[in-house]
Structure 1
Amino acid sequence: MIKPIKQSIKKLVYPLYPIFNSSPDFLLIGVQRAATTSLYHYLTKHPQILVTHKFRETYYFDNPENYSKGFGWYLSHFPSKLGKNKKLTFEASPSYIYYSQIPKLLKQDLGTIKMIAILRNPVDRAYSAWQMYHSYDNLPLKHLRERADERSFAEAIEQELNPESNAAKYPYNYINRGKYVQQLENYYNYFDKEKILVLNFAAFGDDLGSSLNQICDFLNIKHFSQEAIQQFQQEKYAAAKYVRSSDDDQVLERLKDYFAQYNEKLYTLLGHRYDW
């Protein structure tokens, strides 16, 4: 009885949040399995950044049920304008870059907001995503077990590449999530390129300090201290241990050939190449 009453009160308060609460100053938009979780945790520790919501994702722009609750519901996750002062606030959702309808919604609701995307070799990203979903079968949380992918990597990729396959691609989308050129072109239809900082996952891992400095410059905030960066290098988020089979190697080579054309278009769009 108490819970429904609280929910009813919250619904009455939601229209007030646009008056009192701050909207995010920037977003981490993806991609999945490309250190978005790690970067989120690093940024929450920056003295010029304030985060008040409990989870990195609000599931607002990528969840129609939440979006229907209204912009006030979304802003209820962020700090008050008074409490925020001059600090920045943000959220991180690796799915935002993927779904085609989201850039339009972001521009409509948040205006010319800054965004950060980390791109990972699409072959490695697909394999990492499969390993993640494949491991869900052993987790205690029911909602994750229900999304477990019990197929082998070869079976999953074969079904996604087969246009006649009736196998469900959602929520996996191992292949389409790696077509970054299509996703960025969609964003560039709504936002200037200067508003979206695109980073390389490999460079992020090889030189964390340089990548974080680049991000801080993009956000116009102070660089992290060397001590903080050294601490971050000891922390691991959403990491997993993979056991790679010889059968998987053959599939990965097939994917490398498949993604080649999309990667070339991406390099042209960005004006530089990655070692993919």
Structure 2
Amino acid sequence: MSPETEISGPAARMPDFLILGAARAGTTALYSHLRQNPSIFMPSAKEPNFFAFEGEALNFSGPGADYVNNSVTGIADYHALFSDAPAGAVCGEASPLYLYAPKAPERIHQRIPRVRMVVILRNPIDQALSHYLYAVKQRIEPLEDFSAALDAEDERLAAGWQPLFGYSRFPLYAQQLSRYFKLFDRNQFLIRTYEEFQDDPKDVIDSITTFIGADTSFQPDLSSRVNAGGVPRSRLFQDFLMKPNPITGMIARVMSQELRWKIRDRLSQFNLKREVELPDRARAILRERLLPEIEDLEYLLDRDLSSWRA
């Protein structure tokens, strides 16, 4: 059965657009803002990761492995994510692993070759630090020294730890986008930066809404700050929020996952220190690994990214 045949019919909706990433570049906030628009349908479960792992038996190890191991890998389950979409709605989903995963571009091209794709890129060095701080906030990063975590990347990934722990590998944007550009027309991509999103979120949301063909007259509430990172002031309190325990288990029986996570993240915000300096050694490691990528990305996109190299 061809991909086109598989996705035909009202019970087999597929996305009209994908938010490919990058990770820690505002994709959770973007997802939250776009879902407010009545003309846009996005599944309540963010990051199904289908095209990253389609058909695979997942068995990642290490801290937080369940996040990846619980990804949607079957086409029927993926179709089901969009089964409640109203007629005429623009359907989409957000999985930042799509930019990172080597097999994702080919799988997307096979299933939905005319899909529109949104990419938000962040200064790679800032992104790597933010990814580390996110893992610290989630209490899945056991190392308190970012430099040590960078040194441990190869060993961890070789041991089957989930991709998140390749902190300096996630922001290899030039390599990642090149895989997509070999298969898709450039006009299928809208590429903005995290800095643009921070400076003028309305402009970025408006440009995306126009790009995906949704209702541009609707203006979402942009006041909430979603999924922010930081270092916990109290590790004990953060462990209580992020790790399974009898109290959170009881709450899970009576409250939806989406609402639980919203409350958890709100409480977590009060326990986080926002301003975190990048250690000198970690900065040196990241500059050595990532500066060539920034230069390659400037050439690939024909865009001045000199501020990222500063």
TM-score range, shorter chain: 0.7 to 0.9
Q: Is the 8 A contact 1:113 1:195 kept in 2?
A: yes
Letter in 2 for 1:43: L
The answer (yes or no) to whether the contact 1:212–1:223 under 8 Å persists in 2 is no
Q: Is contact 2:29–2:227 with CA below 8 Å preserved after alignment? A: yes
Counterparts of 1:102-117 in structure 2, within 5 Å, are 102-117=104-119
Structure 1 unmatched ranges of 5 or more: 1-14, 138-147
One-letter identity of the residue aligned with 2:130: S
- Measure, in 2, the Cα distance between the counterparts of 1:23 and 1:35: 23
Please state how far the C-alpha of 1:155 moved relative to its aligned partner: 0.3
What is the one-letter code of the residue matched to 1:57?
Answer: E
Q: Which runs of 5 or more structure 2 residues have no equivalent in the other structure?
A: 58-70, 232-272
Partner of 1:86: 88
Q: In the alignment, is the contact (CA less than 8 A) between 1:17 and 1:73 conserved in 2? A: no
When normalised by structure 1's length, the TM-score is: 0.79
1:106/1:17 CA distance change after superposition, 3 Å:
closer
Matched, 1:237 2:226: yes
Aligned to 2:147: 154
Supply the distance in 2 between the matched residues of 1:249 and 1:36 (Cα, whole angstroms).
28
State the superposition RMSD in angstroms: 2.7
User: 1:72 maps to which residue?
Assistant: 76
The counterpart of 2:30, out of the listed 39, 60, 75, is 39
User: Take 1:68 and 1:132, find their aligned partners in 2: how far apart are those partners?
Assistant: 25
Task: Provide the C-alpha distance between the structure 1 equivalents of 2:178 and 2:278, rounded to a whole number of angstroms.
Answer: 34
Letter of the 2:227 counterpart? A
Aligned to 2:279: 248
Asked whether the equivalents of residues 154 and 251 of structure 1 are also in contact (C-alpha less than 8 Å), the reply is yes
- With 187-196 and 238-247 compared, the bigger mean Cα shift is at 238-247
Identity %: 26
Q: In structure 2, what is the equivalent of residue 209 of structure 1?
A: 202
SS in structure 2 at match of 1:273: coil
Counterpart-to-counterpart distance in 1, 2:103 and 2:162: 16
Shift of 1:258: 3.1
The answer to whether the Cα contact below 8 Å between 2:105 and 2:183 also exists between their aligned partners in 1 is yes
TM normalised by structure 2 equals: 0.71
Distance 2:298 2:96 in 1: 21
Q: 1:39: how far off?
A: 0.4
In structure 2, relative to structure 1, the CA distance for the partners of 1:37 and 1:224 (3 Å cut) is farther
Q: How many Å apart are 1:256 and its aligned residue?
A: 2.6
Residues paired across the two proteins, number = 243
Aligned counterpart, 1:185? 178
Which residue of the partner structure matches residue 100 of structure 1? 102
**Residue 166 (structure 1) shift:** 6.3
Say if 2:256 is the partner of 1:266: no
Q: How has the CA–CA distance of structure 1 residues 222 and 246 changed in structure 2, closer, same or farther, with 3 Å as cutoff?
A: closer
Deviations 1:221-268 (A, max 9, x none): 33355xx45x31x20111123456667244224413431111011011
Q: What CA distance in whole angstroms lies between the structure 2 residues aligned with 1:222 and 1:58?
A: 25
Query: Hey, what's the Cα distance between the residues in 2 that align with 1:178 and 1:68?
Result: 24
Query: How far 1:57 moved relative to its partner?
Result: 2.2
- C-alpha distance in structure 2 between counterparts of 1:55 and 1:16, whole Å: 23
The amino acid of 2:81's aligned partner reads: H
Equivalent residues of 2:25, 2:122 under 8 A apart: yes
Contact 1:120 1:202 in 2 (8 A): yes
Alpha-carbon distance in 2 for matches of 1:110, 1:246: 42
Show CA shifts across 1:209-228 (max 9, x none): 11112112211333355xx4
Change (3 A) 1:235 1:270: same
